[in-house]
Amino acid sequence: MKRVGSAKLWLVEGMVPHFREMVVLGREILRALVDAHGPSATVKRFSSPHWLSALSCVLGFEWDTSGQTTVTLKALKIALRDSEIPVRIIGGKGEEMRWVSYEASRELRRIGVEDTDDLTWASKFSCSVDDSALQDSYRVYFHSMIVDEEGTWAVVNQGMNLEDRTARRYHWSCDRKISIEEPHASIFAEKDQDLVLDLTSPESSTTRKTMIEILGDSPPSRLKEDLAKAKMILRGQGLLDREFPLELAERLPDHLAPPNNFDEETLRRAKGVREFADLLTFRGVGAATIRGLAYISCLIYGSEASWRDPAKFAYAHGTKGGRPYPVDRHAMTENARLLRDAVLSSRLGEPEKIQAIRRLAALTSTKA
């Protein structure tokens, strides 16, 4: 299973006067989709961030607010409950995130899903990856799983950043192989974060391995000592002889600060863990523990990790309003020329066409 996309939204509060109508209309939209395309294809649509945003707009929500996730999926959850439509939504906001196991055994069995163990594990794993393996300043506060009668599922997680009042939404699909490395096909956002601890990156493979090794080989007291040494290095009070981003050591964001300490009992119980994916979902292990072990691995044992946000920009050439950046008119003209040369010019041979298309893809996938 892999995360397949995300969207960045603005945090909003307030009542939804037309919530009842959202439930009524949402039920009939899903009924029509299931009738036309089948339950499985309907569930898979939820793994697309753009499709869910479009559905939310149809149900009366702004395209760039956090409520389009939390309220829309809550309305659809209520709409599907006790209906004959063979699709259910479990989980939700805050406390409802913890209801997944109970709801899976109750709601999903009503539509014929008997074995829910794999579903509940996938639910927990996706939350752990989005909250702990990818530390991008967004803490997951909303989690929903959409499931059909055959066990096809999609997951929608949403995290919030209280400092800039934004939310980032992550989408997962059962179509993709379960993996901790690059679990997402794409993450869309208005802009990337300056510094992110991305333990899902291939660049972080040695750090993931080292974290498991030191957890198994070192007593909790030793790990606490190593954490103190790593914090001294970050403060410039120790010898930094490892490759490490200088800007991170000099200007550490709050969401990447090392934990104050480790819980010894949690470390002791986790010593038998052999896989990083199991460590993420281990009871008592959260973002702070993962971050602390990553600092020890990088600063004390010399492993490498990725500190770049894996998010891709959702805008190819900027926007008229200047958010996240003004339109790059030169890039638009250049890309038009590349398209013309790649598609219309008969003078280009096949290798030249491929090269031109690759240049276009490189220009349009990053901020110019």
Q: What is the pLDDT of residue 319?
A: 55
Same domain (yes/no): 218, 342? no
Interatomic CA distance for residues 129 and 126, integer angstroms? 5
Same domain (yes/no): 182, 322? no
Interatomic CA distance for residues 141 and 294, integer angstroms? 23
Interatomic CA distance for residues 162 and 156, integer angstroms? 20
Same domain (yes/no): 154, 181? yes
Same domain (yes/no): 134, 51? yes
Show which of 143, 168, 190 is a domain's final residue.
190
Q: What is the pLDDT of residue 289?
A: 97
Residues 3-15, mean pLDDT to the nearest whole number: 59
The helix (run of H) or strand (run of E) holding residue 32 is: helix 19-37
**Domain containing residue 324:** 315-364
Judge contact between 112 and 120, C-beta under 8 A.
no
Same domain (yes/no): 288, 321? no
Q: Who wins on pLDDT, 234 or 280?
A: 280
Same domain (yes/no): 80, 208? no
Number of domains in the chain: 3
331 occurs within a structural domain: yes
Same domain (yes/no): 89, 165? yes
Show which of 141, 159, 190 is a domain's final residue.
190
175 occurs within a structural domain: yes
Q: 3-class SS at 317? A: coil
74-105 per-residue burial string, b: 16 or more CB within 10 A, e: under 16 = bbbbbbbeeeebbbbbbbbbeebbeebbebbb
97 occurs within a structural domain: yes
Counting residues of the chain whose pLDDT is more than 70, the rounded percentage is 75
108 occurs within a structural domain: yes
308 occurs within a structural domain: no
Selection from 58-67, 138-147, 335-344, 357-366 with the highest mean pLDDT:
138-147
309 occurs within a structural domain: no
pTM to 2 decimals? 0.79
pLDDT above 80 for 304: yes
Same domain (yes/no): 175, 209? no
pLDDT digits (tens, 9 = 90+) for 218-253: 999 999 999 999 988 887 766 555 556 555 666 678
| The two structure tokens encoding residue 31 | 């009924």
Least confident window among 21-35, 53-67, 135-149, 293-307: 53-67
Same domain (yes/no): 278, 338? no
Please classify residue 284 by burial: count the beta carbons closer than 10 Å to its beta carbon, then call 0-12 exposed, 13-18 middle and 19+ buried: exposed
Same domain (yes/no): 116, 60? yes
Report how far Cα 311 is from the mean position of its chain's Cα atoms.
Answer: 9
The strand pairing partners of 168, in sequence order, are 8, 159
Instruction: Indicate the pLDDT class of residue 89, thresholds 50, 70 and 90.
Output: very high
What radius of gyration do the chain's Cα atoms show?
23
Cβ neighbours around 24 below 10 Å, total: 13
Same domain (yes/no): 34, 168? yes
The strand pairing partners of 8, in sequence order, are 168
Interatomic CA distance for residues 307 and 299, integer angstroms? 14
174 occurs within a structural domain: yes
41 occurs within a structural domain: yes
Q: What is the pLDDT of residue 10?
A: 58
Residue type (1 letter), 127: C
Q: What is the pLDDT of residue 23?
A: 92
pLDDT digits (tens, 9 = 90+) for 157-198: 999 888 878 888 888 988 876 788 887 655 555 556 778 899
Instruction: Give me the chain's average pLDDT, please.
Output: 83
Show which of 190, 213, 229 is a domain's final residue.
190
Same domain (yes/no): 235, 348? no
Judge contact between 111 and 85, C-beta under 8 A.
no
Interatomic CA distance for residues 162 and 113, integer angstroms? 38
The strand pairing partners of 153, in sequence order, are 147
> Which own/partner contact pairs does 334-340 have at CB distance under 8 Å and 24+ positions apart?
334/363, 335/360, 335/363, 335/364, 338/363
Interatomic CA distance for residues 220 and 304, integer angstroms? 23
pLDDT above 60 for 257: yes
